[in-house]
Amino acid sequence: MDIAVIGSNMVDLITYTNQLPKAGETLEAPDFSIGCGGKGANQAVAAAKMGASVMMVSKVGDDLFAPNTVANLQQQGVDTRFVTTAPGTSSGVAPIFVDDQSQNRILIIKGANQQLKPADIAAAAEALKSCQLIILQLEIPLETVYYAIDFARQHDIKVILNPAPAVADLNIEYACKCDFFMPNETELEILTGMPVTTDEEVKLAGQSLLKRGLKNLIITLGGRGSLWMSGDNVHQVAPTAVKAVDTSGAGDAFIGCFAHELVKSGDIPAAMAQASAYAACSVTGRGTQRSYPDAETFQRFLNVH
């Protein structure tokens, strides 16, 4: 395997609305859809669609959503040998509200994702040892994230940690063991307690983390592109201009594509440029995984952008 994703899967419950209701108010929304999501699954699917060989270590619930989640991963080319069921537990779900400006607001109920434990990583150890890169997020227990980081270090496997959703008590010492730490600007603000309104503020917040020992910090900035900071070096990638329809899952698209390109070439700026364009392509369609292009579709997108 090229890449292992140890992380979450969710069922996305997406409401498209022109206006969010006030307390006690009922409004009619124009559209709704159900999709497969979760930060871990999204990143796995994005990498697989781009051509990477991807396996996933994850937990599904003991409910009607689970078979569809596993089948979807398999259809997208993700190895699901280590996607197992948590008895008596619901699958993770994510109610998502997308407004008429294409901005999203998301709630998550972790469900079975809370049951992904270090023992599940141990059970997948032999397969994981063959991987070049492990991707982690924070929709699973922190103890499992830390165990995975230690496992990767023991076996000389590169690690991307996406601190999402951000938690203020994340152990930065573990983040510093990772090869890449990849928050968005909101997560950076939560982790540092510093403002991130301007690019200069983002850089100052990033520097505060680098001073604590991070190796490579890549910050995704939505419509402002992305930023790579390492030591005293700063590299910014401009966004690809598109008309956004739905920004849900764009950060995961970025990470999945970046991981694929990093494994393929090892060229960080080039991987960021490709990932930025891939994320831009994803926001031109609705949903999360369903909006991610395969390699051929992405190439057509690049040809006109």
Between CA 124 and CA 149 the distance in angstroms is: 14
Residue 171 assigned as binding residue: no
Residue 39 assigned as binding residue: yes
Residue 248 assigned as binding residue: yes
Residue 277 assigned as binding residue: no
Residue 222 assigned as binding residue: yes
Walk across the sheet containing 10-16 and list its strands.
31-37, 10-16, 93-98, 104-106
Between CA 38 and CA 29 the distance in angstroms is: 23
Residue 31 assigned as binding residue: no
Between CA 150 and CA 273 the distance in angstroms is: 30
Question: Assign residue 193 a region: left if phi > 0, alpha if psi is -120 to 50, beta otherwise?
Answer: left
Residue 158 β-bridge partners? 133
Between CA 152 and CA 71 the distance in angstroms is: 28
Residue 10 β-bridge partners? 37
Considering the candidates 150, 252, 267, 294, report the single residue annotated as catalytic.
Answer: 252
Residue 226 assigned as binding residue: no
Residue 40 assigned as binding residue: yes
Helical ranges in 107-242 per DSSP H:
118-123, 125-128, 142-154, 172-176, 185-192, 199-210
Residue 79 β-bridge partners? 55
As given in the structure block, the two tokens for residue 173 are 């010492």
Residue 12 assigned as binding residue: yes
Please tell me the total number of residues recorded for the chain in this structure: 305
Residue 117 assigned as binding residue: no
- Residue 252 among the catalytic residues: yes
Residue 100 assigned as binding residue: no
As given in the structure block, the two tokens for residue 53 are 């060989």
Residue 233 assigned as binding residue: no
Residue 90 assigned as binding residue: no
Look at residues 290, 283, 258 and name the one whose alpha carbon lies nearest to residue 47: 258
Q: Report residue 149 CA to chain centroid gap.
A: 17
Residue 37 assigned as binding residue: no
Residue 251 assigned as binding residue: yes
Extract the annotated binding site for substrate.
10-12, 38-42, 139, 252
Where is the binding site, in residues? 10-12, 38-42, 139, 184, 220-225, 246, 248, 251-252, 282, 285, 287, 291
Active site residues: 252
| Annotated binding-site positions for ATP | 184, 220-225, 251-252
